[in-house]
Amino acid sequence: MKVAFVTTECVPYAKTGGLADVAGSLPAELVKLGCEVKIFLPKYSLIDENRHGLKHNWDISEMPIRINGVIRSVHVYQSKLPNTDINVYFVDCPHYFYRHIIYTNDPDEDERFILFSKAVIETLQRLQWAPDVINCNDWQTGLLPLFIKDNYSWDRLFDNTATLFTIHNIGYQGLFSKSVLFSAEIREGLFYPGGPIEQDGAVSFMKAGISFADIINTVSNTYAHEILTPEYGAGLEATLVQREADLFGILNGVDYNIWNPETDKHLPYHYTINDFSGKYLNKKYLLNHFGIKPDENIPLIGIVSRMVVQKGFDIFADAINEMMSLDAQWIILGSGEDRFEELFRKLSNLLPGKVGTYIGYNNELSHLIEAGADMFLMPSRYEPCGLNQIYSLKYGTAPIVRKTGGLADTVKDWDEQNHFGFKDGNGFSFYDYSGFALYKSVERAVNVFKHKDIWKKIQTNGMKLDFSWTRSAEKYLELYKLAVENRQRL
Ligand code: ADP
């Protein structure tokens, strides 16, 4: 199976979120299953060319690509994904990709990713490499399935090329004015109210991906069902319902070479499922760093997150007084909306012996929090997959989560499982999106923490689970086969 993996983020080159982790891990697992994979990524100026060994590909000559009536000159650079034999192709167009950040609010944001999608197709033409499947990711690559089926349908090379469109977050849709039809050279006839690319009078890249891809998936089973409803579908639920038979959920895997308390290179102390002593040493180390007195009998609750409403910070703010009345300590790492940053700054000033806050991005600290905390809080309003709760399980740090999306698929509530006669709970969860429900579940966790034997059971239940990529990659391969079948039916 030949797979072109088209992404706008990929570890170790460029990252803003979970998509980068997926793009950096899934292709290698697919290769192990016998696939031939090529990765395509824009060549952002923030990618360190020397460090990653990018080389100009002289076999692919300059590609002139017309966007918004202007011909842009595009080149291709190449490198190998570290520790693999996978070729990564970087689309180079300084006019669009030499900016300070990956995603911008610039007026030509649509053009940047129209160019990227077309350049990927033109690179495939020059390589004379026809993939069986092009795996597109999120709205930035949403027009690519349309281009394959329409603009480039004249090219016999792609007669058997299918597309899989992966939705990592339906909340970001790429909505632009009708002028996209001209910029991207899309047929006028495809744009009409309720049509395959129209949304509220605008052109939606996400909707185009959903409408034209042969198969669609998202990053957990529960989220795949949730986005069929108005509460979670962000206006695209009706379009998704039409394609329900072709919509699947595959949970993201995690990379245990990086996230494993036995080997994690960011931890001062390692520990295992049989010997937790290092975990408490990490807790002491972490709390000392924040000037908080460690106590074995007081649980430490960790948060590592973008501070935005999606992640549940509004209900956290609603319940702040009740939460602070609990006998627990808190370490919070993140950045985002001013009002939430301000709230946590204030909190650590008011309660310096109880709350430690770090506003910003800090990879090393995120590892230390996973290891040092006793509990990890993720009260998300919606969560397509979520990675931190999966890391928490491996680190013996009981997740407290709202039962939504990938959180619902990975965290089993201890009390709920007990109620049904099972002892396999690995954390705590709540359903209602309210400060009260959040508070009650944290209170439950704090109470159970007092019972050391039960707590150890919860920890080991989580640590035993395996969310590595192997199983998820097999499921992707199944979807690729389905996509090929759908394509051949046309
Ligand atoms: P999303 O992609 O919606 O932000 P995920 O849970 O899928 O959420 O992935 C978030 C990733 O970013 C995790 O690897 C998490 O550890 C990391 N992360 C988020 N905020 C920070 C931060 N402030 N510092 C360090 N890492 C962070």
Q: What is the per-residue pLDDT across 107-116, written as a single tens digit (0 to 9) for each?
A: 999 999 999 9
User: Which atom of ligand 1 is found nearest the CA of 333?
Assistant: 23
- Answer whether 17 contacts ligand 1 (Cβ < 6 A): yes
Give the number of residues written for the chain.
490
Note the pLDDT of residue 17.
Answer: 85
For residue 215, what pLDDT band results from cuts at 50, 70 and 90?
Answer: very high
Q: What is the mean pLDDT of residues 82-109?
A: 97
Tell me if 427 CB under 6 Å of ligand 1: no
What confidence score (pLDDT) does residue 118 get? 98
310 CA closest ligand 1 atom index: 3
Say how many Å lie between the CA of residue 60 and the centre of ligand 1. Answer: 36
Best residue among 311, 377, 387, 394 to mutate for probing ligand 1, ranked by most atoms within 8 Å of CB: 387
Among 388, 397, 401, say which to mutate for ligand 1: greatest number of ligand atoms within 8 Å of CB. 388
Ligand 1 contacts CB of residue 387 (under 6 A): yes
The pick from 7, 167, 258, 304 for probing ligand 1's pocket by mutation, whose C-beta has the most ligand atoms within 8 angstroms, reads 304
In degrees and rounded to multiples of 5, residue 400 shows phi and psi of: -115, 115
Ligand 1 midpoint to CA 312 (Å):
14
Predicted confidence band of residue 18 (pLDDT cuts 50, 70, 90): confident
Ligand 1, atom 24: nearest CA belongs to which residue?
361
* 430 backbone dihedrals φ, ψ, rounded to 5°: -140, 160
CB of 334 closer than 6 angstroms to any ligand 1 atom: yes
Instruction: Walk me through the domains of the chain, giving residue ranges and CATH numbers.
Output: 2-253+470-489 (3.40.50.2000), 277-466 (3.40.50.2000)
Q: What percent of the chain has pLDDT over 90?
A: 97
445 band by pLDDT with thresholds 50, 70 and 90: very high
